[in-house]
């Protein structure tokens, strides 16, 4: 099949491809060529948006894109399937290289800013302590240093899974390292103050939580050792790594070991994920029999592709009826309080955290945590507190 397009480099704009329909062709453009054209045009725009990538690397990406576009849209015969495969490989290459570059670049400046802010805080609080002898200066400094260090370490430990289409928005993330660090340090100080005066005690079901500082679960990070450290710093509740319901049902030994809890951790929550009602119930029952945790948490927020493909995590935000069935079934088959962690919605066009939270309340869930990003945002952009406020105003949990 002959190609229906004329494809060449746009001489008037850097890193831009000119796509034109071949006017000599009388037949209708085949669907596969139409789809390849749309994908290639989109990929070209994203490559142009990589503002911090050096020109030599962008040129390499561009040349590959131009070449495969010509193979799939111009050649006679047009090898569209080959071009589609080449485009997929090119996207994977760009995500691998650019994702690592973006993370390393951000980590570098996050570390530098953390050192500068820590040094300034040390000098200011050191002078304050010298003149006032107020022991609280040392406590405040420890909180600030801990918040700065924790931010840097947790960001570095995060597995950076992104889609090709997210690269352009990542480059334009307005949350600069210094703003992020100051925000977390101030928030940590405020929480410490509230803890010290006993204003933030909370109860989840029949479990007393001494304060509202809850350590969020993170796969590969929040194991027993990490949770004990966080507990020593005063957290009111700690949460395990997310545990697969299917793995518990199949008796996977490595997964079962993730249920291990130290006596010094309490209160502690075990988080499970899954999208099948029966296996989630079996997992909850298994935890009841083999774990001394205080709370069971259901993950409805994980945006990672392999989790979503398994109809788990944030996939449930698309399926309110299924989400309700899962929550209700788990609540019904365990004596422990059940909580839920969710996203604001699937994407910006489907914000339904209030709807899901009302279903959670109806199902008997004791508490809900809302991540103010959508699944489509992954970990980019900003967490929208307006969604969290809407949830708080609209629910009794």
Catalytic residues, which ones? 302
* Sheet of strand 295-300, all strands in order from the earlier edge strand to the far edge: 238-244, 268-273, 295-300, 338-345, 367-374
Tokens of 80: 């569209």
Tokens of 223: 């194991």
Cα–Cα distance, 336 to 294 (Å, whole number): 6
Cα–Cα distance, 293 to 183 (Å, whole number): 32
Tell me the pairing of strands 295-300 and 367-374.
unpaired
Cα–Cα distance, 14 to 48 (Å, whole number): 8
Tokens of 158: 């995060």
């Amino acid at each position: 099949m002959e190609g229906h397009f004329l494809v060449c480099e746009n001489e008037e704009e850097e890193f831009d491809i000119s796509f034109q329909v071949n006017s000599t062709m009388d037949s209708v453009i085949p669907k596969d060529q139409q789809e390849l054209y749309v994908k290639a045009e989109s990929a070209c725009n994203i490559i142009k948006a990589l503002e911090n990538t050096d020109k030599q690397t962008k040129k390499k990406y561009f040349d590959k894109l131009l070449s495969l576009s010509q193979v799939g849209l111009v050649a006679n015969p047009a090898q569209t399937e080959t071009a589609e495969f080449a485009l997929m490989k090119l996207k994977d290459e760009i995500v691998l290289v650019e994702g690592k570059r973006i993370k390393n670049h951000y980590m570098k400046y996050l570390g530098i800013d953390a050192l500068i802010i820590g040094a300034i805080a040390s000098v200011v609080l050191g002078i304050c302590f010298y003149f006032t002898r107020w022991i609280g200066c040392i406590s405040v400094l420890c909180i600030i240093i801990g918040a700065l260090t924790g931010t840097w370490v947790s960001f570095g430990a995060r597995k950076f899974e992104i889609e090709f289409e997210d690269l352009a928005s990542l480059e334009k993330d307005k949350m600069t390292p210094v703003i992020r660090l100051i925000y977390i340090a101030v928030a940590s100080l405020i929480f410490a103050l509230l803890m010290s005066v006993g204003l933030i005690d909370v109860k989840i079901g029949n479990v007393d939580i001494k304060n509202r500082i809850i350590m969020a679960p993170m796969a590969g990070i929040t194991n027993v050792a990490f949770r004990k450290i966080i507990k020593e710093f005063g957290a009111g509740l700690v949460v395990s790594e997310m545990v697969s319901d299917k793995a518990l049902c199949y008796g996977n030994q490595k997964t079962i070991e993730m249920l291990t809890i130290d006596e010094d951790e309490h209160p502690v929550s075990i988080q499970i994920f899954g999208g099948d009602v029966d296996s989630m119930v079996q997992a909850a029952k298994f935890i009841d029999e083999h774990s001394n945790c205080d709370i069971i948490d259901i993950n409805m927020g994980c945006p990672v592709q392999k989790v979503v493909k398994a109809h788990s995590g944030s996939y449930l935000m698309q399926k309110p009826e299924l989400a309700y069935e899962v929550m209700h079934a788990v609540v019904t088959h365990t004596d422990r309080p059940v909580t839920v962690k969710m996203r604001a919605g699937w994407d910006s066009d489907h914000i339904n955290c209030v709807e899901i939270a009302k279903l959670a309340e109806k199902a008997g869930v004791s508490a809900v945590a809302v991540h103010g990003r959508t699944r489509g945002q992954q970990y980019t952009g900003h967490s929208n507190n307006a969604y969290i406020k809407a949830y708080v105003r609209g629910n009794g949990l």
